[in-house]
Structure 1
C-alpha cells in the first residue's frame, strides 16, 4: 500500500510485513511540502522576505492582501527566478560535492486598480490574481564511502523478515511465483530474481544438488556476507509548491487597508533515491535499489490581512493564513539492479534490473496555520527609503495527514493518529524573524535584508541535531522605478544541514548521509503600470 510496506509475502502462513517508518515518513512529507523560506517578488525578497507591513507590490496578492489597497494604477509583473544548490555530503568518512540548477517562474501577476471614490472614505479597491511559487523542491546530493560493517547493507531490510519464521517456513516457490523476467510483485521477489537473496537448499541429492523450488526456502542468505562494501547514496528531487491566488484589497481613508485572498495550491514533488553497493572483491560487481516517489496534490486556503498607518511615516501590518487543505496522490516504485563479477554469476543473471509493481496511495494533508505581524518606518517620509521587520508564526505542530485508503475505519483512524503523534513528537511551532531596509535615490533602490528561521525540529534526526537545522537567510537587491515601469533584481543565500539514512536497520548498522546545502536564489521582477 505504499512506501512503508517494504514487502508483503502473499499467500504464506508466515507472511512478513517489513515496516520502514510509515507514520514518520508522512510526518516528514508534511514538513517538506510546507517548509517555506521566502516568497514574493524581487523587491520583497531583497529586503529579507518582509511583506506584511508593506504595500503596493504584486507580492501582496499571495502575502498580505491588504497591501493591494495601496495601488492607484493597474500593474502586470513577471518574475523569472533561478535556484542554485551546492551540496557537500559526508558519508562513511568521505566527502562528495554535488550541484544543481533550476530555472522557474517565481511569480506572474496582474493587479486591477479600481477608480477612486469621491464621496466615501473608502478611497479605492484593487483586485489581483497571481501565480507564485511558495517552495521549490530542487535539490541533489551524492555520497560515497567504504562501509566495513558487514551487517550494514540495505539487503538486511528484507532478509530478517524472510527468516522470521522457522527454517523452511518461506519457500523459494513463493518468491519465484512473484517474479517474472524483469518485474516482481514484492521487493523480496525482485532480490530473489537477481540472486541477491538465496534460499537454503533442502533435500539435495547427487542428481539434484540444488534441491527443488518447492523444498528450498528460509533461511535466506546473501553472497559474500563477510566482505566490506563500497557504498554510494545519491538523491535527486524536483518540483514545487505553487499557487494561484485571487485577492481583494481596499483602502479606508488612507489609514486602514484591509484585504482577503483565496488560493488554489498545487504540489508536484518527484524524488529519486539510489543506494548502490559494491562488495570488495566479491562475486557481484555492484547491486542496488532505486526508490522513486511521485506526488501531486491540490489544496485550497484563505488569507486575511490588515495594514494600519497611524502617521505618514509609520505603518503596522498583520495577516493570518488558514491551513491549506490538500488532496494528495502519490505513486511509489522500487527498482532493484545487480551486475555480476564472477563468471558463474554473470551467466546466472538473465536480467540486471527488476521493477517492483508500483503502489498508489491517496491521502489528505492539512498544512500549518500561519500568522504574521510587523512594521515599516519610512525615512524622510518615504523619499529616502524605509526600515521594516516581521515576525512570522508557523504552527508546524498542527500539520495533519489522514486517509480512507485502508479497508477498515479503525485502520484509517490508527494511521491518522500515528502520523499526528509523529508530528507532535518531531516538530514544533516556530516564529521566524525578518528585517530589511531599502534606500532610495530618485528612481533607484538599494535593498538588504536578513531572516532567522529557527529549527522546527524537537529532536535530533538522522544524526543531525535539532538546533543545527536553524537557518539564517541573507538577501540584497537593486531596483529602478518610474511612472511607467519597475525593474528589480534580488539575490538571497542561506545554508542548511540535513541528514539522510539510505536504509533503516538498527542504530548501529544504519549509515547516515550528513549534508550541508548552500542555496542561492536570484530573481528579476519586471512590472508595467497601466
Structure 2
C-alpha cells in the first residue's frame, strides 16, 4: 500500500531513470467524474437519477428530459474555493485557491406528439424532448505546499538509486541522474563506480510547492421519449474534453558532506531546485442510456448506464534540476536545460451504472437517493498511432489491475417547498478506488444545501457544496520505502447559481 501511494501520487509522468512512464495515476484522475448539474440538484447532494425535469438530465439520466412539459434554458456559474492542509515531518501548512467557472449551461426543446382528434393525449407516446448542454464534471484545481527538516534521508538518495548500474560516462545527456552528478549532489563509490551515495547532509530542509489546474467537461446531445406520462426513455452522446496541468518545485538545502576528493563542493551549503511541469490534454466520446418509471405519482424509479469514455491523450512532461552553493567566500550556480518528454496514448475509462429512487411526501416534500457502481480496475490503456510503446502500455495496464478496484458511490437529498421557495440539503460519498484501502482513506465526502425561488416562467437557485478528500504524497521515492510522506486534506467549498427560463 505504501509503495502504491508514493508512486502514484508523486505524479511524475516520465520520471527519468524509471523503467517505464507511469500514467495510471492520471488515468484514475480522469476516471473520477461526477455529474455536472444545476444548483437545484447540487443542493440535493447530486441525487438526480430518478428525478428528471431539470437541465441536469442532459449530463445525468437523459430519460429525465422526458418529464419536461415546456422548452427551457438555464445557466449555472460557480465559484470554487479550495484549501489544502498538509502535514509533513511534523510541520503543518495551509494553502488556498479560488476561481470562477461555468459549471453548466443548456437548452431543452419540448415537442408534443400530434395525435388524431379524440385520441387520449396521455396514452402512448406523449412527447419527444431534445437537449443540448455543457457540463463541467470535474475540477482539478488546487494549491498545496509542505515542508520540514528531514533527519533520515535526502532527495539525493533517490538520485543515487536511479544512477546505480551506470558509470558517470554512461549517463544520458540531460538525464536527472546526470544533472545530480554534475551538480555534485551524488558521488560514485571508490570501490565501484556504478554505485552511488548522496553527498548531502541529513537534517536538511525540504520544501515542496505545487499548483494544479484543469477540468473534465462534456458537450451533451440528448433526447428522451415520454410514454403515457409513466415511462421515460432517454439517450445521450457526450463529447468529452480533458485538461490537467501541474507545476511543482521541490527545494532542499543543507551541506555538502562528500568524502570523494573529486567533489569540489565539499563543506559548502547547497540549495537545490527540482522543477516538474506536466500538461495533459484529452478528447473523447461516451454515451448514456436511461429510464425513469413512475409506478405512482408519488414514486419515481430511475436507472442509467454510462459507457466508458474513449479518450485520446497527449502528454507533455518536463523536469530540470539546478543547484546553488554558498560558503568560503564564493557562490557557485549549476543550471541545466529543461528536459521535455512527450507521449500519446488512448485511454478507456470505466463504465458507470446508476440506480435512483425518489418519493414525494404530502405534495411539499421530496426525498431522493442514488447509488453508482464504478469498476476502476477496468481502466485500460492502448497505443496510439503515433506512439507504439507496448511495454509502457502493458505495464500501466498491469498497475491498474494491481492497484485499483471497484467502488460504490451514493447520494441522498431532500427538498421542502414553501410557496414559491424551496429548501434543500444533501449528502454524498464516493467510495475509494484504491485496492486494500481498508480504512477508506481515499473516500470523498460531500455536503450540500440550497435555496430555490420560482416566479412565473423564471427560476433562480443557489447551492453550497463542500467536498472533503484525503491523500498521501511524497516528494521522491526510495527502494526501501523510507522516504517521507505528506498527509494532505483537501476541502473544496463551491457556490453554484442557476438562472433559468421556460418558454
- Please report the TM-score for the alignment, with normalisation by the length of structure 2: 0.88
- Contact 2:53/2:65 (<8 A) preserved: yes
After TM superposition, give the deviation of residue 38 of structure 1 in Å. Answer: 5.2
Partner SS for 2:402: helix
After TM superposition, the structure 1 = structure 2 runs for residues 239-388 of structure 1, keeping only pairs within 5 Å, are: 239-279=214-254, 283-343=268-328, 346=331, 348-349=332-333, 353-380=335-362, 383-388=363-368
Q: 1:6 maps to which residue?
A: 15
Shift of 1:82: 1.5
- 1:144/1:342 CA distance change after superposition, 3 Å: same
Q: Distance in 2 between matches of 1:20 and 1:494?
A: 36
Distance 1:474 1:46 in 2: 9
Q: Which whole-Å CA distance do the structure 2 matches of 1:406 and 1:57 have between them?
A: 42
CA contact (8 A) 1:284 1:338 kept: no
Deviations 1:87-127 (A, max 9, x none): 11111111111111121100011111113433462111111
Partner SS for 1:158: helix
Secondary structure of the structure 1 residue equivalent to 2:446: strand
- Whether the 8 Å CA contact 1:291–1:332 is kept in 2: the answer is yes
Q: Is the 8 A contact 1:109 1:131 kept in 2?
A: yes
Counterpart mapping for 1:136-147 below 5 A: 136-147=139-150
Count of matched residue positions in the alignment of Structure 1 and Structure 2: 477
Query: Partner of 1:499 in structure 2?
Result: 472
Report if aligned partners of 1:278, 1:285 keep a CA contact under 8 Å in 2.
yes
Q: CA deviation at 1:416?
A: 3.2
Q: Give, in whole Å, the separation in 2 of the partners of 1:194 and 1:400.
A: 40
**1:209 paired residue number:** none
Alignment of 1:53-64 (within 5 A): 53-64=50-61
> Where does residue 74 of structure 1 map in the other structure?
71
Instruction: Give the counterpart of 1:196 among 185, 190, 195.
Output: 185
The one of 425, 433, 438 aligned to 1:448: 425
Deviation at 1:219, TM superposition (A): 6.0
- Cα distance, 1:496–1:311 mapped onto 2, change above 3 Å: same
SS where residue 33 of structure 1 aligns?
A: helix
Q: 1:187 aligned to 2:172?
A: no
Matched, 1:428 2:405: yes
SS in structure 2 at match of 1:341 = strand
Answer yes or no: is 1:391 the counterpart of 2:371. Answer: yes
Structure-2 change in CA distance of 1:129 and 1:407 (3 Å): closer
Q: Secondary structure at the match of 1:511?
A: coil
Alignment partner, residue 170 of structure 1: 168
How has the CA–CA distance of structure 1 residues 99 and 4 changed in structure 2, closer, same or farther, with 3 Å as cutoff?
Answer: closer
Q: Distance in 1 between matches of 2:132 and 2:69?
A: 16
CA distance in structure 1 between the aligned counterparts of 2:94 and 2:447, rounded to whole angstroms: 23
Where does residue 205 of structure 1 map in the other structure? none
Question: Equivalent residue of 1:503, what SS?
Answer: coil
Classify 1:4/1:28 alpha carbon distance in 2 versus 1 (closer, same or farther; 3 Å).
Answer: closer
**Aligned residue number for residue 445 of structure 2:** 472
| Alignment match, 1:153 | 154
Deviation string for 1:354-407 (max 9, x for gaps)? Answer: 233211000011111101111111123xx3031111111112121111225798
1:131 aligns with 2:108: no
Q: 1:5 to 1:104 in 2, by over 3 A?
A: closer
Compute the TM-score of the two structures, normalised by the length of structure 1: 0.84
Unpaired segments of 5 or more residues in structure 2? 1-10, 257-266
Change (3 A) 1:425 1:6: closer
- Deviation track 1:454-482 (CA, whole Å, cap 9, x = no partner) reads 2221135xxxx652222332111000122
SS at the partner of 1:129? Answer: strand
Q: Is the 8 A contact 1:20 1:504 kept in 2?
A: no
Q: Which moved more, 1:397-406 or 1:137-146?
A: 397-406
Query: How far does residue 3 in structure 1 lie from its aligned partner after superposition?
Result: 5.0
Query: Contact 2:14–2:317 at 8 Å: present in 1 too?
Result: no
List per-residue Cα deviations over 1:58-103 (Å, max 9, x = no partner).
1000101111111121111111111211111111111111111121
1:403 aligns with 2:383: yes
The answer (yes or no) to whether the contact 1:249–1:258 under 8 Å persists in 2 is yes
State the partner residue of 1:232. 207
Conserved 8 A contact 2:162-2:177: no
Structure 2: distance between partners of 1:99 and 1:134: 21
Q: 1:451, CA displacement in angstroms? A: 1.2
Corresponding residue SS for 2:168: coil
- For the Cα contact (< 8 Å) 1:4–1:21, is it kept in 2? no
Residue 44 of structure 1, CA deviation: 0.5
The CA distance in 2 between the partners of 1:20 and 1:522, in whole Å, is: 44
Name the structure 2 match of 1:518. Answer: 491
> Cα RMSD over matched residues?
2.6
1:487, 1:67 → 2: CA distance? 20
Deviation at 1:35, TM superposition (A): 1.6
> Over residues 231-288 of structure 1, what are the superposed CA-to-partner deviations in whole Å (9 max), with x where a residue is unaligned?
0122221000111010001111111111100000000000122221011696234112
State the secondary structure of the residue aligned to 1:424: helix
Q: More displaced, 90-99 or 284-293?
A: 284-293
Match of 1:98 among 66, 82, 95: 95
Q: Secondary structure at the match of 2:99?
A: strand
Separation of aligned partners in 2, 1:20 and 1:271 = 22
Paired residues of 1:228 and 1:280 also in contact (CA < 8 A):
no
Give 1:421 shift.
Answer: 2.3
